[in-house]
Amino acid sequence: RQKGGIGLRGPGETQLETDRRLLRERVKALQGRLAKLEKQRQQGRRARQRAEVPVVSVVGYTNAGKSTLFNRITRADVYAADQLFATLDPTLRKLPLKGVGEIILADTVGFIRHLPHNLVAAFKSTLQETRDADLQLHVVDLADVRRDDNMQQVSAVLEEIDANHILQLVVYNKIDLLGQPARIEYNEFNQPLAVYLSAHSGEGVELLLQAIAQLLSERYIDIVVSLPPQQGIWRARFHQQHCIMQEQFDDDGYCQLTLRLSESLWQRCLKQSNGVLENCVVSAPVI
């Protein structure tokens, strides 16, 4: 049949041709929305990089418990289910870490065997959070008999998206199903290699935070600052960063703080204070 008119088929256009044209327009519109979303995420990443906020990306095979662990750590309410691709969009949350300051924790899509190239392209903006991370948490289902193969598949996908060079901490999840204790596994240089925990019960989560802090803070420094009364905002910020070891006030209202924090966090604070903190230093940083 042929019929003209606004919103109807044009002259000589069959129903099949109409469907194809509408699908092409739909694909074009979705591609435009994806391009806009990618631009917005790039702006967010650049803002985090300028603020020098560390990003920790949660990666792993599908159904390994990534979103459950993410919810446990951040007290978020991210959808978690025993199904393929339960997580499709990256979820980012700020998390205060003692001695390190605020970090960004990113939950990402689960990987599968032989992830098709077109799916890699579809998840490009999602996987970009993994490529730009400072640390990867590779969550592994310890109770899965195919865990070694799953880990190899995840490593293959990370290599495909050029994210295999990033510092990685293996998180063996679901120890409650095997009756194993929570613990940290170290290498010969006393650096954390793996953490055994249960995201469901919360056992071992504090050990994970401890391991993350150690990896993100290669060097801690001890420093004493004396803040005048008008700089109380910095006392509040140091409390937010959980890096105050001791504090005391004198009769003039000055607050003397003994800080223990990462060198990168201290440099970040110096930069943000525009020279104010440099004038408040009582003793030089001690590593």
Query: Which region among 73-77, 84-88, 135-139, 242-246 has the lowest average model confidence (pLDDT)?
Result: 84-88
Query: Which region among 134-138, 214-218, 232-236 has the lowest average model confidence (pLDDT)?
Result: 214-218
Neighbours of 159 (CB within 10 A): 11
Mean pLDDT confidence for 92-109: 80
If you search the block for the tokens 């640390």, which residue do you land on?
135
pLDDT at 185: 93
Mean pLDDT confidence for 124-129: 64
In a shared domain, residues 173 and 248:
no
In a shared domain, residues 196 and 226:
no
> What is the CATH number for 277?
3.30.70
Q: What are phi and psi of 134, to 5 degrees?
A: -85, -25
In a shared domain, residues 23 and 59:
no
In a shared domain, residues 72 and 207:
yes
> What is the CATH number for 82?
3.40.50.300
Antiparallel, parallel or unpaired: β 192-196 and 168-173: parallel
Whether the predicted pLDDT of 45 surpasses 60: no
- pLDDT: which is higher, 127 or 146: 146
DSSP secondary structure string for all residues of 114-167: T--HHHHHHTHHHHHHHHT-SEEEEEEETT-TTHHHHHHHHHHHHHHTT-TTS-
In a shared domain, residues 210 and 233:
no
Whether the predicted pLDDT of 119 surpasses 60: no
In a shared domain, residues 199 and 70:
yes
Q: How confident is the model at residue 51 (pLDDT cuts 50, 70, 90)?
A: very low
Antiparallel, parallel or unpaired: β 55-60 and 101-107: parallel
In a shared domain, residues 182 and 249:
no
The range of the structural domain enclosing residue 270 comes to 220-286
In a shared domain, residues 210 and 70:
yes
Number of structural domains found in the chain? 3
Length of the chain: 287
Q: How confident is the model at residue 60 (pLDDT cuts 50, 70, 90)?
A: confident
> Contact 70/107 with Cβ under 8 angstroms?
yes
